[in-house]
Amino acid sequence: MRSFTGRDILSLNEFERQEFFRVFEIADRLEPIARNRQNTDLLRAKTMVTAFYQPSTRTRLSHEAAMHRLGGRVTGFADPKTTRAGDFYQESLKDTVRMLEAYGDVIVMRHFQAGAPQEAAGWSSVPVINAGDGWGEHPTQVLTDLYTVLRERGRIDGLRWLAVGDMRMRTMHSLGHALSQFDCPVTFVAPPADALFPGSPDMRMPEEYKARFARSGLDFREAEHVEQAIVEADVILVEPVIQPDYTLAHHEASEEARPSTPANYKITRELLAAKAKSDAIVLHSLPRMDELPQDIDTTRWSRLWQEAFNGVVVRMALLALVLGAVE
Ligand code: ASP
């Protein structure tokens, strides 16, 4: 297994099976610290720099919380408008990253352009963690999802997944890469063009990703309606289909009425009660729209808040690993 020390976490395409388990092993070791609301000094001498070119609630704050739990320091920006990268100068990624690498020991970057964290890693002498890039990938979210499955179901292999939502989403791409390392068949359910309203985009898995998944041996199929796959699903991963364009820097709040999500792409309490396996679990990276109504939170299928908590734990493990504190 390759060492994690000094390594960039950019894509799950480059992750090997044993590496997933290594992250989860360290997460298990660090989990009690977060559960007991303690802080340690494992990363006392380290600083994390956040570079968020797009809004974030969970990903930025859970990285920060993880760093605090491990006794490290945090600096960075949550909105590029407060920096020269977002004003008149539109400072280049290269110049920005050459600054940031001097300010800390790891850079966590979210960007509206797919591939920006990869480019940053090319300029940076410290590890770069991809916190979501355009319609690219979101590796730390999917590591969190898999860790949640491991904790909640006791295993990853042998479980069948249903993934529903906009397949242009970065989480879905990281998911396909990750599941190719496990015995986990997955069914993708997403709207074709015009399914939401006239002119709505094709949200099915892009051909480029399907080709990559096929090459890596992922057992996947596509279906048109969640009802075609929910009965046999052990893990139901939901993402919105009513959502902004992730390649834009800013998503304006809108007063306009939004279309509602068609039943094909919605997981409701009634559907779960009628069709889901008794021990299936539901995950969502959040934020949600109406594809996963709030009343599912008080069903036995929901693991949304465990997933949110595990987001801190997995990021503690990643930071400890890439900063060389646990090898
Ligand atoms: N759906 C979100 C995204 O990819 C998940 C998150 O906020 O991290 O941006």
Pocket test for ligand 1, best of 62, 140, 171, 307 (most atoms within 8 A of CB): 171
Range 204-211 average pLDDT: 98
Q: What does each C-alpha distance from 252 to 54, 246, 248 come to in angstroms? A: 12, 12, 10
> Residue 106 — pLDDT band, cuts 50, 70, 90?
very high
Indicate which atom in ligand 1 lies nearest the CA of residue 170. 4
Range 295-307 average pLDDT: 98
Q: Is the CB of 111 under 6 A from ligand 1?
A: no
CA distance 40 to 325: 12
258 pLDDT above the threshold of 90: no
Quick: pLDDT tens for 26-63: 999 999 999 999 999 999 999 999 999 999 999 999 99
Range 164-180 average pLDDT: 98
139-304 maps to which CATH number?
3.40.50.1370
Distance 184 CA to ligand 1 centre (A): 23
Q: Is the CB of 170 under 6 A from ligand 1?
A: yes
Pocket test for ligand 1, best of 64, 286, 307 (most atoms within 8 A of CB): 286
Q: State the pLDDT at residue 326.
A: 94
For the chain, counts of helices (H) and of strands (E): 9, 9
Name the closest-CA residue to atom 8, ligand 1.
Answer: 59
Range 120-126 average pLDDT: 98
Q: Is the CB of 302 under 6 A from ligand 1?
A: no
Q: Quick check: 136 and 114 in contact, CB under 8 A?
A: yes
Q: Is the CB of 187 under 6 A from ligand 1?
A: no
Range 106-111 average pLDDT: 98
Pocket test for ligand 1, best of 60, 130, 138 (most atoms within 8 A of CB): 138
Q: How many CA atoms lie within 13 A of 44 on its CB side?
A: 4
CA distance 122 to 7: 12
b/e string for 232-261 if b means 16 or more Cβ within 10 A? ebbbbbbbbbbbeebeeeeeeeeeeeeeeb
Distance 285 CA to ligand 1 centre (A): 6
Question: Helix, strand or coil for residue 131?
Answer: strand
Percent of the chain exceeding pLDDT 70 equals: 100
148 pLDDT above the threshold of 80: yes
240 pLDDT above the threshold of 80: yes
> Cα 245 to chain center, whole Å?
16
Fold: same for 12-138+309-322 and 139-304: yes
Q: What is the largest CA-CA distance in the chain?
A: 56
Q: Quick check: 167 and 188 in contact, CB under 8 A?
A: yes
> E-strand spans in the chain?
47-52, 73-77, 106-111, 128-133, 161-164, 186-189, 220-223, 235-238, 281-284
Q: State the pLDDT at residue 252.
A: 77
- Domain limits of the chain? 12-138+309-322, 139-304
> Concatenated DSSP letters for 190-224?
---TTSSSTTPPP-SPPHHHHHHHHHTT--EEEES
Mean of the per-residue pLDDT values for the chain? 97
Q: Is the CB of 315 under 6 A from ligand 1?
A: no
Indicate which atom in ligand 1 lies nearest the CA of residue 240. 1
User: Is the preceding peptide bond at 117 cis, omega within 30 degrees of 0?
Assistant: no
Q: Is the CB of 171 under 6 A from ligand 1?
A: yes
Range 100-106 average pLDDT: 98
Quick: pLDDT tens for 79-89: 999 999 999 99
Q: Is the CB of 63 under 6 A from ligand 1?
A: no
Pocket test for ligand 1, best of 285, 286, 288, 304 (most atoms within 8 A of CB): 285
Q: Is the CB of 58 under 6 A from ligand 1?
A: yes
Q: State the pLDDT at residue 250.
A: 79
Task: Tell me yes or no: is domain 12-138+309-322 CATH 3.40.50.1370.
Answer: yes
Indicate which atom in ligand 1 lies nearest the CA of residue 287. 1
Q: Is the CB of 132 under 6 A from ligand 1?
A: yes
Indicate which atom in ligand 1 lies nearest the CA of residue 138. 4
Q: State the pLDDT at residue 327.
A: 73
Q: Is the CB of 134 under 6 A from ligand 1?
A: no
Q: State the pLDDT at residue 138.
A: 98
Range 62-68 average pLDDT: 98
Range 203-226 average pLDDT: 98
Q: State the pLDDT at residue 118.
A: 98
